[in-house]
């Protein structure tokens, strides 16, 4: 006989964006979670700690950025060819017709570099004003130059942000 799965409410969030990224950021062998508050301000990572005595998971929340709203989706890819992945995300345009906090602010596309020694992200704004990261963001080398480009689809249209950085 198998035991039925039991839900463990180890954390709660009301408006987490989708997808969440499952990555071992601190190289401790445990999966951490990167997520954004899709209908408010806040981009976070949750560090998985040693389990509690009752076996439930134990998490520590870290703030990545709270200066833009609606980070609804994200991607994890090596954008600069250094062998390390970066976090690609941005602000959704007018979620809920602009009624969410920050809903009428400029859309923005951001790349965050991860430093495994300091356990910190550093932000690089790559576009502001027209393109935002809506519900979809994809990373692919669209023009065959060896550099991954960003495709972001949302209420302002579908935008290609060509990667003109180093190979």
Q: At residue 1, does pLDDT exceed 70?
A: no
Give CA–CA dist 27/116, Å, rounded. Answer: 8
In the chain, DSSP finds a helix count (H) and a strand count (E) of: 0, 11
Q: Taking phi first (over 0 means left), then psi (-120 to 50 degrees means alpha), and beta for anything else, what does residue 29 get?
A: left
In tens, the pLDDT along 71-105 reads 989 999 999 999 999 999 999 888 788 888 998 89
* 111 lies in some domain: yes
* 13 lies in some domain: no
Give me the half-sphere count of Cα atoms (radius 13 Å) on the Cβ side of residue 6. Answer: 6
* 3 lies in some domain: no
Confidence at residue 146, expressed as pLDDT on a 0 to 100 scale: 94
Give CA–CA dist 42/67, Å, rounded. Answer: 7
Average pLDDT of the residues in 151-157: 89
Neighbours of 30 (CB within 10 A): 15
Cα 92 vs. chain centroid, distance in angstroms?
Answer: 12
* 62 lies in some domain: yes
Confidence at residue 100, expressed as pLDDT on a 0 to 100 scale: 87
Degrees to nearest 5, angle at CA 12 with 22 and 121 = 45
Average pLDDT of the residues in 31-49: 93
Q: What Å distances lie between residue 21 and 66, 101, 143, CA to CA?
A: 18, 23, 27
* 57 lies in some domain: yes
* 43 lies in some domain: yes
Q: Tokens 């430093």, residue?
A: 115
For the chain, how many structural domains are there in total? 1
* 72 lies in some domain: yes
What is the span of the domain harbouring residue 121? 21-161
In tens, the pLDDT along 98-134 reads 888 998 899 999 999 999 999 999 999 999 988 888 8
Residue 162 in tokens:
């060509």
* 73 lies in some domain: yes
């Amino acid at each position: 006989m198998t035991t039925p799965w039991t839900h463990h409410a180890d954390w709660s969030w009301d408006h987490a964006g989708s997808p969440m990224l499952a990555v071992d950021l601190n190289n401790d062998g445990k999966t951490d979670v990167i997520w954004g508050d899709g209908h408010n301000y806040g981009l976070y990572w949750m560090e998985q700690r040693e389990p509690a005595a009752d076996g439930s998971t134990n998490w520590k929340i870290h703030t990545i950025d709270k200066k833009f709203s609606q980070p609804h989706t994200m991607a994890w890819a090596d954008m600069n060819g250094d062998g390390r992945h970066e976090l690609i995300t941005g602000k959704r345009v007018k979620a809920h017709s602009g009624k969410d906090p920050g809903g009428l602010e400029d859309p923005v596309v951001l790349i965050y570099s991860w430093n495994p020694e300091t356990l910190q992200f550093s932000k690089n704004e790559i576009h502001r004003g027209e393109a935002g990261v809506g519900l979809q963001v994809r990373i692919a080398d669209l023009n065959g130059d060896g550099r991954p480009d960003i495709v972001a689809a949302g209420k302002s249209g579908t935008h290609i942000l060509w990667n003109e950085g180093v190979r």
